[in-house]
A and B are shown apart, each in its own frame.
Chain A
């Protein structure tokens, strides 16, 4: 479970080449090119409808793209690679079962992982006392923490988080951020979308800034917030509406 460094290196660098996605006539993603390095935390920023979530789903292989390629350490996505990637959705999708059963559903997929690891992860997200509770009776924050614990149970090399702390209470927010930093220290590469500028500053080593389906900036987080390269990014940071 903790042998992530080796696995992470096997998926990175992730090279995105000319990635485009159309929805009818609308360009959801427009010729995206970027390179994601090993053991990084990348925050994807941009206004609503910029294509952030679609980009994450493309990396996960959840949606097919119209053109372009994504290479994971020079390999194109396949089921073997996808099993090394975990995606936590903005709106947690939980099975109509108890907390423990939600975790076990993933465990059945990976038989090598023991019940001890489930207990450990549930303790880590503060849900061990709720293990027999129906998952859908948990609060929003608890559901998101369970989603994260379930994602970690598959021991992914690449963790994709789609606005993982949107509308969460401060306790859940802090806990999730701690886990993100901790997992990154253990060697996982993490890509997250967020609207929380403070969160991006606290967590990200690198920023991808999207607007209207285009990747306008890929830069180190410290540089992005100090001196963004594009006018759009400057406006976004200043809280102005992007037209």
Chain B
């Protein structure tokens, strides 16, 4: 079965199977976009939470930490209720579109990036804050310096977010609907094909997903090793 799946996976790739590549491309597109948008929102929030002391800061951090373990199906359900025709944002017409999948993934990724970024920046802030204060460095310049100097660790966080996004199934199947040629991604296809008993295709897609995870980890390890050698982490 496994050997057959490998053969099937290679067949799909080598024969440039149109449907397969459409699914793969949509998976990458949705995950990359949700990751990009999440980073734009979460990195400044995480950094701000790390370096600023304000009333309720700890509570906000606790909430974000707790949200790291949000069940995807619950997120899917909430987003569904919000964007369904009768929901408050139903007029936007996002239900069963890739946009809805991006929103759901963002809700899952943002807490991860916020919490882990806050931890990383808190550590570097502890190290730099006296220097920056003595040099009278502006908050804006300090923020850029923190993100730049923690770039290797931040990249790890971003890739962790990507891992969460690409492997997500529960939320995207609810809000995306797994519609062929429109919202069908790798994970939802695997779920569907498994339920249909078409295990070889499901396994083939699973292998591709695993390969993506392996590549991400390889990049991570390479970057970490390089950064450690230069004592940048």
Q: Bound pair: A and B?
A: yes
Interface residues of chain A, those whose CB is within 8 Å of chain B, are: 60-62, 79, 82-83, 85-87, 89, 93, 95-97, 105-106, 108-109, 134, 136-137, 154
Note all chain B residues with C-beta closer than 8 A to A96: 124, 149-150, 231-233
Residue pair A62, B130 in contact (C-beta under 8 Å): yes
Do A134 and B232 touch across chains, with their CB atoms under 8 A apart?
Answer: yes
Are A86 and B134 in touch, CB under 8 angstroms?
yes
Q: What secondary structure prevails in chain A residues at the interface with B?
A: mixed
Q: In the bound complex, how far is the Cα of B130 from the Cα of A86, in angstroms?
A: 12
Would A62 and B133 be within 8 Å (CB), given that A93-B128, A95-B128, A105-B145 are in contact?
A: yes
Whether B135 lies near A106 (C-beta < 8 A) is: yes
- Check A87–B231 contact: CB distance below 8 A: no
Contacts of B232 in A (CB 8 A): 96-97, 134, 136
Residues of chain B lying within 8 A (CB to CB) of residue A95 = 128, 145, 149
Asked whether any CB of chain A lies closer than 8 Å to the CB of B17, the reply is no
CB pairs A–B below 8 angstroms (5 shown): A82-B136, A96-B149, A109-B141, A134-B230, A134-B232
In the complex, what residues of A have CB within 8 A of residue B136's CB? Answer: 79, 82-83, 109
Q: Please give, as numbers and ranges, the residues of chain B lying within 8 Å of A62 by CB-CB distance.
A: 130, 133-134
- The prevalent SS among residues of B at the interface is helix
User: Interface of B with A (CB < 8 Å)?
Assistant: 124, 127-128, 130-131, 133-137, 141, 145, 149-150, 230-233
Q: Which residues of B contact A85 (CB under 8 A)?
A: 134
**CA A230 – CA B159 in complex, angstroms?**
63
Contact yes or no, A60 B134, CB < 8 A: yes
- Flag if B149 contacts A97 (CB, 8 Å): yes
CA distance A62 to B134 in the complex (A): 6
Quick one: which of A79, A82, A93, A154 contacts B130, CB cutoff 8 A? Answer: A93
In the complex, what residues of B have CB within 8 A of residue A134's CB? Answer: 230-232
Expressed in whole angstroms, the Cα–Cα distance for A89 and B230 within the complex equals 22
Q: Is the beta-carbon distance between A87 and B137 smaller than 8 angstroms? A: no
Contact A87 B230 (CB under 8 A): no
